[in-house]
Structure 1
Amino acid sequence: MAPRVLISDKLSAAAVQIFADRGVDADFLPDIGKDKARLQEIIGGYDGLAIRSATKVTEKLIGAAGRLKVIGRAGIGVDNVDIKAATSRGIIVMNTPFGNAITTAEHALSMMMAAIRQIPAADASTQAGKWEKSKFIGRELTGKTLGLIGCGNIGSIVADRALGLKMKVIAYDPFLTPERAISLGVEKVELETLLARADVISLHTPLTDKTRNIINDETLAAMKPGAVLINCARGGLADEMAVRAALDSGKLGAAAFDVFVEEPAETNPLFGAPNFVATPHLGASTLEAQENVALQVAEQMCDYLLHGAVTNALNMPSISAEEAPKLAPFVRLAEQLGLFAGQLTESGIETVRLEYAGAVAELKTEALTAAALTGLLTPLLQTVNMVSAPALAAERGLSVEELRRGKRGAYETYIRLTVVTERQERSVAGTVFADGKPRIIQVKGINMEAELGAHMLYITNEDKPGFIGHLGTELGSAGVNIATFNLGRSAPGQDAICLVEVDGEVPPDVMARLQAVSHVKQVKALRF
């Protein structure tokens, strides 16, 4: 029986035809995504669900989708999909991460020009018959400094276009290497420098714990008087109340937002502010972008439903059915090694080196490298997957090296991940035991054996008596239970590493007290 796909949002006729041409039975019901009750009634009869942003794929809807195998989002954002619930039900969530980059970049530039020349206000005034020519004195972009917070796929396109406008471009992006910055023609700077120098600041970073409210009272105060702020990336990157206050006071010369914390934004603190331009999340709304992502998602869903090929999946690695039994545990290991290193890396990465020793060197190491990069980039980008990770790494100028070798040392097979940054080099190695579970076997040259849990504490310290007891007392007093405890040291009395699995998050005050211990060098909470 042919697979059945429900298209619950508007997709182009060409995209719908792809399903028919590939032998997939597709029902095109573009308005049903807005009818939650009806959608829940019928979803149980489908193997695939193709959506845009209107359909909300909630845990309740997923619970009613008894045979659903794949959700395809035509576009990059998946805020309307409960990925955790889909994963727990074995449903693959796909998106199309590269189909609307040019469109979004062009919209950011359009908003920049609209704000700096006060075009919306001038248009409204002129059409009202006022002809207030002296009221709308603008500024030139030529010679001005554009500061990009985030210089990945979209940010680099904005940089290229801005250079064509004869602007100077500076960028803050922890994953942008100096070499990549040179190739783009931009100057890599720290955030403090960008805030102080930029005439126009444009946001092009995902919304993560690190980037949420990156524009706030403090960063606004550090900007040049009269700076212009553009956000066509994600609502929540800027504190909207703080931006409103900066516009009212004149600290910000203008701002233009395409995205908001609450959408649809029927009311917002920024509405009505002086020199503020707003659009209703139009970043990806061009005919070309809408067509591209629709065609891509149709092809990806057909490939999976008919052949089991996984492309641009957000919640599983891209591994074929034939490769899965051997590769899957090592893919998990590689991703955990990357995630381990990524959470400890705080400066720009220059090189990622992967060493495959023993039996794992005979496997499809390209998939393993993609998995390692996925883990490495996840703390910053979150939605990165095995398909997009290599491209995202390349965009940031990361040099990725692979080394295959025969069995060496005490373990039959292992993977070693080394991250070289502007400041240091750090390596972590792991293997897969007979039970199929990944294990850490070495960190920074110090041997240890540790299984990674959901909540981990990573502590580096000088090997001195009493530390273990002190750590246990602190955690116990805070009601934090220790699940596993793993130690390693370079030599007695020298560098030591402690990896502790705990049953929940460690309170910030406990983390601060541990960090304050004289012989403790670093305390870091890790999540897996």
Structure 2
Amino acid sequence: MTAPKVLISDSLSDAAVQIFRDRGIDVDFMPELGKDKEKLAEIIGNYDGLAIRSATKVTPSILEHAKKLKVVGRAGIGTDNVDKEAASKAGVIVMNTPFGNMITTAEHAIAMMFAVARQIPEASASTHAGKWEKSKFMGVELTGKTLGVIGAGNIGGIVCDRARGLKMKVVAYDPFLSEEKAEKMQVEKVDLETLLKRADFITLHVPLTDQTRNILSRENLEKTKKGVRIINCARGGLVDEQALADLLTSGHVAGAAFDVFAEEPAKDNPLFGLPNVVCTPHLGASTSEAQENVALQVAEQMSNYLLTGAVENALNMPSVTAEEAKIMGPWIKLADHLGSFIGQMTDDEPIKAINILYDGYASEMNLEALNCSLIAGIMKSINPDVNMVSAPTIAKERGIKVSTTNQEQSGAFEGYIKVTVVTPKRERSIAGTVFSDGKPRFIQIKGINIDAEVGRHMLYTTNEDVPGIIGALGKTMGDMGVNIANFTLGRAAARGEAIALLYVDEPVPAEARAKLAETGLFKQIKPLQFDVV
């Protein structure tokens, strides 16, 4: 099998490059390429993976040229430079490394808070200039002050911990922070309005989304306590910078410390030149330790995905650990086969809903990943290029409702998956399990119990339970030179509805299907094909 090929288009450490090579991945290290979008578009089609920092912009036009691309790995937490919607539609996983620079970024926020509290940069510049303006730089203590933390996740949580160590009172606004978690962190959970009124210092630690954009708008900034100091080491665009500049000038806000800006690189900004405003050029993750950590982490994550299918820290795909990938591999394949069966059976009917039941052992697995595989199997009948990443997006765009139910073991099998698809005309269902040999099996179709091994080429028929079915199928396949590897029959009741599922060594030719139709025994004759490795 050909080794996966990765392009590194931004500056990563030599150790990260070596990780790819040690794992048997063919890697091209071109640290300046990310700045040349034309050249990147020209060669990106040769690669399975793209490792980047912030200089490379992964746009829809780049993705249009990236026909082989499976994963983009961002060494760092921010992925504003990656069009995640376009990547999802293209079936490309987008990963980041949210934990490699958490401490570094949190420490920078604390450092910026000290700097603005004691006016350290201005005092330093004044002293360097030979002045001795001791009385000019009157600061404030952090001890006993109230710190308002907007966003108490990974980085915000570390800031809370450090602030408590400084004997500050900490209030946090985060819709996803539970009361139990807040109590454990020893912070007070409050709404945004309360935080704005009470905080002496406000620090932001949220991503830039439609919900968080301008969370400190002019209106909200005017609600803050007089003399407040604002720290932003998270993302530009979270604060109305012009409004903040006006409130700094009026004296309502006593100071600000910003590492990030709405437009970067920031050459001109309303905050520049104002007294007691500390600005740094997006240094939050800029320590040697953090840069090395995120580079090594992204190399490991991308290698794991390309070689084992493990998905870590993905933004548009459920995470699947390496251990889960080993255990779930056959079940993910089963989900794909079940979806593929349903998709091929309904390829001429619009799908309204997909209902998935997980029973027993299957219900304890990573259901998001199984859902993605199953939906991808269905969608492939519409578009062969669909994969686990793009399938949920395509299903959503088509207005398909997906529901999931899980239950304890309810039958003879330790676990199984059943999928039912609803179309304007009918419902179709199929169930399957994985046996101890690791091979997926179909165990029920249309409510009729069977035991069918899945093969690359199969033939599905429906008929009344009457004599002659096995003979007709066997003779026709024999006459046409089609070898039957496995033959499965099932029926609802004696002389009732019955099905047959043949696993054959080669595709069933149209002439054979025509001969079967001529017998008058079969209601439906459907050739099927599955991606079996």
- TM-score band by shorter chain is 0.5 to 0.7
Kept in 1: contact 2:204–2:232 (CA 8 A)? yes
| Cα displacement string for residues 104-161 of structure 1 (whole angstroms, at most 9, x for unaligned residues) | 1101001101111111111111111111111111111011111111111111100111
Kept in 1: contact 2:204–2:234 (CA 8 A)? yes
Match runs of 1:340-359 below 5 Å? 359=358
Q: Does residue 277 of structure 2 align to residue 276 of structure 1?
A: yes
Q: Does residue 126 of structure 2 align to residue 139 of structure 1?
A: no
Match runs of 1:15-26 below 5 Å? 15-26=16-27
Aligned twin of 2:40: 39
Aligned twin of 2:421: 434
Cα 1:313–1:369 change in 2 (3 A) is closer
The one-letter code matched in structure 2 to 1:164 is: G
Cα 1:359–1:174 change in 2 (3 A) is closer
| Cα displacement string for residues 345-380 of structure 1 (whole angstroms, at most 9, x for unaligned residues) | xxxxxxxxxxx99643431534127999xxxxxxxx
Cα 1:183–1:297 change in 2 (3 A) is same
Kept in 2: contact 1:4–1:47 (CA 8 A)? yes
Q: Does residue 181 of structure 2 align to residue 194 of structure 1?
A: no
Q: CA deviation at 1:243?
A: 0.5
Q: Does residue 311 of structure 2 align to residue 324 of structure 1?
A: no
Match runs of 1:259-338 below 5 Å? 259-318=260-319, 320=325, 321-327=329-335
Kept in 2: contact 1:357–1:405 (CA 8 A)? no
Cα 1:432–1:238 change in 2 (3 A) is farther
Q: CA deviation at 1:316?
A: 2.0
Aligned twin of 1:223: 224
| Cα displacement string for residues 24-56 of structure 1 (whole angstroms, at most 9, x for unaligned residues) | 111111111112222222222222111111111
Cα 1:200–1:327 change in 2 (3 A) is farther
The one-letter code matched in structure 2 to 1:301 is: M
| Cα displacement string for residues 441-471 of structure 1 (whole angstroms, at most 9, x for unaligned residues) | xxxxxxxxxxxxxxxxxxxxxxxxxxxxxxx
Cα 1:239–1:94 change in 2 (3 A) is same
Q: CA deviation at 1:251?
A: 0.4
Match runs of 1:377-388 below 5 Å? none
- State how far apart, in whole Å, the 2-side matches of 1:299 and 1:359 are: 32
RMSD over equivalenced CA pairs, Å = 3.0
- State how far apart, in whole Å, the 1-side matches of 2:369 and 2:157 are: 22
- State how far apart, in whole Å, the 1-side matches of 2:356 and 2:41 are: 49
Cα 1:160–1:269 change in 2 (3 A) is same
Cα 1:329–1:281 change in 2 (3 A) is farther
Q: Does residue 242 of structure 2 align to residue 234 of structure 1?
A: no
Q: Does residue 12 of structure 2 align to residue 11 of structure 1?
A: yes
Partner SS, residue 304 of structure 1? helix
Kept in 2: contact 1:229–1:255 (CA 8 A)? yes
Q: CA deviation at 1:404?
A: 4.3
Q: Please identify, of 13-22 and 265-274, the stretch whose mean Cα deviation from structure 2 is larger.
A: 265-274
- State how far apart, in whole Å, the 2-side matches of 1:52 and 1:235 are: 17
Q: Please identify, of 56-65 and 309-318, the stretch whose mean Cα deviation from structure 2 is larger.
A: 309-318
Partner SS, residue 63 of structure 2? helix
Q: CA deviation at 1:209?
A: 2.0
Aligned twin of 2:75: 74
| Cα displacement string for residues 206-227 of structure 1 (whole angstroms, at most 9, x for unaligned residues) | 2222221111222112111110
The one-letter code matched in structure 1 to 2:330 is: E
| Cα displacement string for residues 325-358 of structure 1 (whole angstroms, at most 9, x for unaligned residues) | 4457999xxxxxxxxxxxxxxxxxxxxxxxx996
Q: CA deviation at 1:322?
A: 2.9
Aligned twin of 1:450: none
Cα 1:433–1:371 change in 2 (3 A) is closer
- State how far apart, in whole Å, the 1-side matches of 2:410 and 2:262 are: 52
The one-letter code matched in structure 1 to 2:290 is: A
Kept in 2: contact 1:329–1:432 (CA 8 A)? no
- State how far apart, in whole Å, the 2-side matches of 1:122 and 1:293 are: 34
- State how far apart, in whole Å, the 1-side matches of 2:368 and 2:201 are: 37
Aligned twin of 2:408: 405
Kept in 1: contact 2:150–2:174 (CA 8 A)? yes
Aligned twin of 1:114: 115
The one-letter code matched in structure 2 to 1:405 is: E
The one-letter code matched in structure 1 to 2:359 is: V
Kept in 1: contact 2:96–2:298 (CA 8 A)? yes
Kept in 2: contact 1:357–1:413 (CA 8 A)? no
The one-letter code matched in structure 1 to 2:362 is: L
Q: CA deviation at 1:261?
A: 1.0
Q: CA deviation at 1:405?
A: 2.8
Cα 1:371–1:209 change in 2 (3 A) is farther
Q: CA deviation at 1:274?
A: 2.2
Aligned twin of 2:361: 362
- State how far apart, in whole Å, the 2-side matches of 1:357 and 1:94 are: 27
Cα 1:328–1:274 change in 2 (3 A) is farther
- Unpaired runs of 5+ residues, structure 2, are 340-354, 372-388, 390-404, 428-533
- State how far apart, in whole Å, the 1-side matches of 2:368 and 2:44 are: 36
Kept in 2: contact 1:212–1:238 (CA 8 A)? yes
Partner SS, residue 277 of structure 1? strand
The one-letter code matched in structure 2 to 1:111 is: M
Match runs of 1:92-103 below 5 Å? 92-103=93-104
User: Sequence identity of aligned pairs in percent?
Assistant: 62
Partner SS, residue 180 of structure 2? helix
Kept in 2: contact 1:358–1:407 (CA 8 A)? no
Kept in 2: contact 1:149–1:172 (CA 8 A)? yes
The one-letter code matched in structure 1 to 2:243 is: A
Q: CA deviation at 1:311?
A: 1.9
Kept in 1: contact 2:362–2:416 (CA 8 A)? no
Q: Aligned pairs, how many? A: 368
Pick the structure with greater CA Rg: 2
- State how far apart, in whole Å, the 2-side matches of 1:318 and 1:160 are: 28
Q: Does residue 165 of structure 2 align to residue 157 of structure 1?
A: no
- State how far apart, in whole Å, the 1-side matches of 2:172 and 2:233 are: 16
Cα 1:325–1:120 change in 2 (3 A) is same
The one-letter code matched in structure 2 to 1:96 is: T
The one-letter code matched in structure 1 to 2:204 is: L
TM-score, structure 2 normalization:
0.64
Q: CA deviation at 1:294?
A: 0.7
Q: CA deviation at 1:413?
A: 10
Q: CA deviation at 1:182?
A: 1.4
TM-score, structure 1 normalization:
0.65
- State how far apart, in whole Å, the 2-side matches of 1:9 and 1:286 are: 17
